[in-house]
Amino acid sequence: MKPVVELKNLSKTIGSKKIIDSLNLSLYPGQITGFLGPNGAGKTTTIRMMVGLMKQTGGDVIIEGISLRDNFEEGLSKVGVIVENPEMYKFMSGYKNLVHFARMHKGVTKERIDEVIRQVGMQNRIHEKVGTYSLGMRQRLGLAQALLHRPKFLILDEPTNGLDPAGIREFRQYLRQIAETEGVSVFVSSHMLSEIELMCDRIAVIQNGKLIDIREMSETKESYYYIEATPLEKVKELLVNEGLAVEVFKNGFLVNAEQQQIPGIIRSFIAEGLEVFAVQPHKKTLEDEFLEMTGGGQIAESYAK
């Protein structure tokens, strides 16, 4: 599959400090990619270079075969952007806001405006003033505005910030529908890892300006079990003797073990007279994996970084 967007050796140096170090990443149509990184990793700097708000020191951003370095306006015409809490004219209706923004792009017809209104489910409220909208409604209007010119690449920076659980779920459903039906490549930067886990097809993780991991969310996760028994020292000794990796977790241990190993482990505990309180499967969350990848770095990133 041909990528919609390619970051090729994208770099940024400020003074003597290398903020982004030769980033290479391909983004594909119909796919939602989460962009994660601890505090100060270079996440926002990368996004700013991708939308032309900051000039790269080296490398390039290629959008549908067009280099932003060589043909900035044409390349950026393929992009839609939503930053948290999109700004709209509150004294105007949602529809008039869309008409206003449509004038900034060539060839956006009334039919296209009506189409994106239907896509984000705003038919019943579109002629009301934006000042009467909830945050969730404003986010939907921001999504409609970003889609007016049929972008092939959509960048979202903290798109669900401030939304309640129902609003987050609704926004996620609209995003998935747009990615699949329009073939749009979606790039989402967020500190809400539980939401990224539900929303995205894959994740890209950046740390200290370098891409440290790219993985599909559908990849089979390792099999872990939570074991709680006492005395802890003897439990750990038996697990290590079984050749298992042991990690302290809550009141017991996480072990990377296969299901068929568990009965033998329980038998050995009983034979040694240990008190067993719990042996249960444990699925590591994206947050668990993120903290392992980054060594426990903070998830959120200041916009100024």
Q: What is the DSSP string of 127-169?
A: TSBGGG--HHHHHHHHHHHHHTT--SEEEEESTTTT--HHHHH
Q: Say whether pLDDT at 189 is over 80.
A: yes
Question: 235 lies in which domain range?
Answer: 224-283
Q: Say whether pLDDT at 296 is over 70.
A: no
Is the separation of the CB atoms in 77 and 166 below 8 Å? no
In-domain check, residue 234: yes
Confidence of residue 304 (pLDDT cuts 50, 70, 90): very low
CATH number at residue 237: 3.30.70
Burial class (CB in 10 A: 0-12, 13-18, 19+), 116: buried
Q: What is the DSSP letter of 218?
A: T
Name 217's Cβ contacts closer than 8 Å, sequence gap at least 6: 197, 200, 201, 202, 203, 286
For 146-165, the pLDDT digits (tens) are: 889 999 999 988 887 777 88
In-domain check, residue 28: yes
What is 185-211 written as a DSSP string?
Answer: EEEEE-S-HHHHHHH-SEEEEEETTEE
In-domain check, residue 292: no
Residues 129 and 264 in one domain: no
How big is the CA angle at 177 (ends 150 and 195), to the nearest 5 degrees?
Answer: 110
CATH number at residue 182: 3.40.50.300
Residues 74 and 170 in one domain: yes
Residues 170 and 252 in one domain: no
The tokens of 221 are what? Answer: 């996760």
- Please tell me the distance from the alpha carbon of residue 273 to that of residue 107, in angstroms, as a whole number: 77
Residue 262 neighbours by CB distance under 10 Å:
17
Provide mean pLDDT across the span 233-247.
91
Residues 210 and 246 in one domain: no
- Please tell me the distance from the alpha carbon of residue 37 to that of residue 298, in angstroms, as a whole number: 8
Positive or negative, the Cα torsion across 24, 27, 28, 32? positive
In-domain check, residue 289: no
Residues 14 and 155 in one domain: yes
Longest dimension (CA), the chain: 77
Q: How confident is the model at residue 219, as a pLDDT?
A: 64
Q: Say whether pLDDT at 301 is over 50.
A: no
Average of per-residue pLDDT values in the chain: 86
Is the separation of the CB atoms in 50 and 6 below 8 Å? no
Domain edge (last residue) among 216, 244, 267: 216
What percentage of the chain carries pLDDT values higher than 90? 38
Query: DSSP H helical segments within the chain, as ranges?
Result: 43-50, 72-76, 94-102, 110-119, 135-147, 165-182, 193-199, 232-241, 262-271, 286-294
Residues 93 and 39 in one domain: yes
Q: What is the DSSP letter of 223?
A: P
β-sheet bridge partners, residue 203:
34, 215
In-domain check, residue 93: yes
- Please tell me the distance from the alpha carbon of residue 255 to that of residue 261, in angstroms, as a whole number: 11
Residues 136 and 65 in one domain: yes
In-domain check, residue 296: no
Q: How confident is the model at residue 258, as a pLDDT?
A: 86
How big is the CA angle at 189 (ends 183 and 195), to the nearest 5 degrees?
Answer: 85
In-domain check, residue 15: yes
For 61-88, the pLDDT digits (tens) are: 999 999 988 888 888 888 988 876 677 8
Structurally, how many domains does the chain consist of?
2
The tokens of 252 are what? Answer: 């017991």
Name 236's Cβ contacts closer than 8 Å, sequence gap at least 6: 246, 253
Residues 133 and 66 in one domain: yes
In-domain check, residue 291: no
Is the separation of the CB atoms in 235 and 227 below 8 Å? yes
CA trace torsion 84, 192, 42, 73 (10° rounding): -40
